[in-house]
Amino acid sequence: MDSVRCVGLYKTYKQGDQIIIGLDGVNLEVEQEGFACLQSPSGAGKTTLLNAMGGLDRPDGGEVYVAGKRIDNLSKGQLAEMRLHNIGFVFQAYNLIPVLTAMENVEFVMQLQGVPASERAMRAREALNEVGLEGLENRRPAKMSGGQQQRVAVARAIASRPAIVLADEPTANLDSSSARHLMELFAKINETRGTTFVIATHDEMAMSYAKRLIRMRDGKIVEDQLQET
Amino acid sequence: MSITLRLAWRNLWRQPRRTWLTAGAMVFSNVLLIFLIALQLGTYQAMIDNTLSAFSGHLQVQQAGYKEKQRIRQVVPRIRDVAEDLRSGLGLNSIAARGEAFTLASSESRTYGVLIIGVEPEFEPRASRIPSLVSEGRFLDNPDAPEIVVGDILALNLKAQIGDELTILGSARDGSFAAAVVNIVGIFDSGVDELDRSLAQMPLEFFQETFAMEGAGHAVVINAPSLFEVEAVAEKAKSLLPGGQNLVVHDWNDLQPGLRQAIQADLIGSWFMYGILVILVMFSVLNTQLMSVLERTREFGIVMSLGLSSGRLGRLVLLETVLIGLIGLTLGVALGGIATSWFEAHGFTYPGMEEMASQFNIPDRFYPDLNAISLFAGPTVVFVGSVLAAMYPMARLHWLQPVQAMRSA
């Protein structure tokens, strides 16, 4: 079964008087336990595609299915609920909640899901251990390095046990060593937990960890290939 | 503590100065409202008590229609028996029978229109303050002696002193000519110019004889133990009245309609001022929460992308406002309560107060009345107003889109 499937996605933006084509008839299926990288130059549509897959943005045309359920026609509230239970996000700029500790950030989504407190704490601790942040549970984002913050974001994304993790330029703000550690972490989680990853990046190193490389240009998929890792 | 509550609480302290400024505005307005409302209630209480205890009492038993026309023929028959029955039935001593007649009073040199009140010398001191306000001479002490006490302004107008004789001329109950010569034994100063200018009191039995009342009178004055018990006392008094005599019980609202109107007029002006104060606080909260929402747009985009619905996000902002409101409410009630209770115990005054106090028949020292209403009414309105002020920032979140929000700086 597919984790995510896009059928004939079409999306345009208005920029002044100009109409920009973000997605131009994109068809894509990412299978369960898949590890795919979307690669394109800036503005070629990878973030737009990622946002459409994650229900953050609504396409102008086409259909999106997550875990077998069509999501492009859901209401705003239904989309929020869908994201809460099915999608884990990792963003370029870490995007942690600054007033919460690492542990609380990881617990946050689970609390929204209604996971009981004891289980929530157990899963959050487990996820933080998995990303190598044991001992930093009570630290706030401002007291952590960029790499550590990004790992908290990964722990947050996986602790809620989503069907798919969508990561948008997750290595862009990291030094090469932290970026490599992060990608190794993604690969390990994909391997051990079977979590599906779709990563938008133009970082060649990051791409080298993907099992599948999808290249985009002008809103279209121009190349889709499996690769050895 | 849930994460949402922790999040709301910590969000408040991201900008501690702003939070304290907003909470400070609430605390200030709450303290002010508590003090002003308590002062207002205390002043009204004093005004009512002073006015009613001075003369009219909380309740009066009269013949139906007497209050409107005040005809000497509209009487309460065997009025001293009625008063005695009420005293024993209600278990109150602050009840006295009276007769009333409009007359001309002449001294050696002047004549003035006077309202003569026949009173029971034994019971009148328990029903009104006039006997205790005799500043010269003494109050009446003989039930049928030809004696009179007059207000100090009336005495001045008549150019009369203690020991002088006054000639009373009027109409008796049977339509005959009523006349008497009485000795001034006392001069009172009630502080209410209207009473001091036109009122005189003589013993009830002498009054009944002079005005051919045949044992009747015009009003039985009842003072309840407190203003709050007036209604209950009135109900019981009605049940104790003799049947078939068309007697009614009037409460102080009927007897002194001007007093209630004065209080209502003052209240309207005050509520207007309080309303402005609450609106200013609401704007302060609106400003804080709007700034707080605008500067966290990106962060809101993140939590929305994680699956937090705009409704729950709105509730988070509401919770933050509720927390600031509770800080303002708690500190405001505590500080306002302490300050006001101090003034309640010690009272306060300011230069020129005596003149104003005499004009409005209130004591020349203010004593705020701190009770549940004065303590919580203002702060509750400020709290509710603050929560309402957060509705607009909350509403803005409804239209927030996660992607656009995350793109904002």
Task: Check if the beta carbon of residue B263 is closer than 8 Å to that of residue B51.
Answer: no
- Contacting A residues, span 53-82, partner chain B, CB-CB under 8 Å: 54, 56-57, 76-77, 80-81
Contact A99 B312 (CB under 8 A): no
Contacts of B406 in chain A (CB under 8 A): 91, 95
A160-170 per-residue burial string, b: 16 or more CB within 10 A, e: under 16: bbbbbbbbbbb
Residues of chain B falling short of pLDDT 70:
1, 356-363, 409
Contacts of A155 in chain B (CB under 8 A): none
CA nearest neighbour of B75 among B97, B54, B94 = B97
pLDDT of residue B343: 93
Contact A51 B403 (CB under 8 A): yes
- CA A12, A16, A18, A23: dihedral to nearest 10 degrees? -20
With an 8 Å Cβ cutoff, is A107 touching chain B? yes
Could you please report the per-residue DSSP string of A143-154?
GS-HHHHHHHHH
**Residue A43 backbone zone (phi > 0: left; psi -120 to 50: alpha; other: beta):** left
Give just the sign of the alpha carbon dihedral B313, B318, B324, B330: negative
- A181: phi then psi, degrees, rounded to nearest 5: -60, -40
The confidence band for A65, taking pLDDT boundaries of 50, 70 and 90, is very high
At a CB cut-off of 8 Å and minimum separation 6, what does B294 contact?
A: none
The overall average pLDDT reported for chain B is: 89
With an 8 Å Cβ cutoff, is A161 touching chain B? no
- Give the Å distances, CA to CA, from A186 to A99, A158, A180: 26, 10, 10
With an 8 Å Cβ cutoff, is A35 touching chain B? no
Contact A83 B307 (CB under 8 A): yes
pLDDT of residue A144: 93
Q: Which residue of A has its CA nearest to B300?
A: A97
Contacts of B312 in chain A (CB under 8 A): 112
Instruction: Report how far residue A123's alpha carbon sits from residue A127's, in angstroms, rounded to the nearest whole number.
Output: 6
Task: Check if the beta carbon of residue B42 is closer than 8 Å to that of residue B350.
Answer: no
The overall average pLDDT reported for chain A is: 89
Say how many CB pairs under 8 Å bridge A and B. Answer: 66
Instruction: Report how far residue B409's alpha carbon sits from residue B397's, in angstroms, rounded to the nearest whole number.
Output: 16
Once rounded to an integer, what is the mean pLDDT over residues A140-168?
Answer: 89
Rg of chain B, C-alpha, whole Å: 31
pLDDT of residue A46: 87
Contact A56 B309 (CB under 8 A): no
pLDDT of residue B6: 85
pLDDT of residue B198: 93
Instruction: Report how far residue A28's alpha carbon sits from residue A60's, in angstroms, rounded to the nearest whole number.
Output: 16
Contact B303 A108 (CB under 8 A): yes
pLDDT tens digit string along A68-103? 899 999 998 899 999 999 999 888 776 888 889 999
Please tell me the pTM assigned to this model: 0.72
pLDDT of residue B294: 86
Once rounded to an integer, what is the mean pLDDT over residues A4-13?
Answer: 91
Nearest to A99 among B10, B302, B305 (CB): B10
Task: Check if the beta carbon of residue B30 is closer than 8 Å to that of residue B329.
Answer: yes
pLDDT of residue B361: 56
Instruction: Report how far residue B338's alpha carbon sits from residue B133's, in angstroms, rounded to the nearest whole number.
Output: 35
pLDDT tens digit string along A178-211? 888 888 888 988 988 888 999 999 888 989 999 9
The confidence band for A27, taking pLDDT boundaries of 50, 70 and 90, is very high
Instruction: Report how far residue B25's alpha carbon sits from residue A95's, in angstroms, rounded to the nearest whole number.
Output: 34
User: What is the interface pTM, i.e. ipTM, of the complex?
Assistant: 0.85
At a CB cut-off of 8 Å and minimum separation 6, what does B21 contact?
A: B284, B288
Task: Check if the beta carbon of residue B205 is closer than 8 Å to that of residue B199.
Answer: no
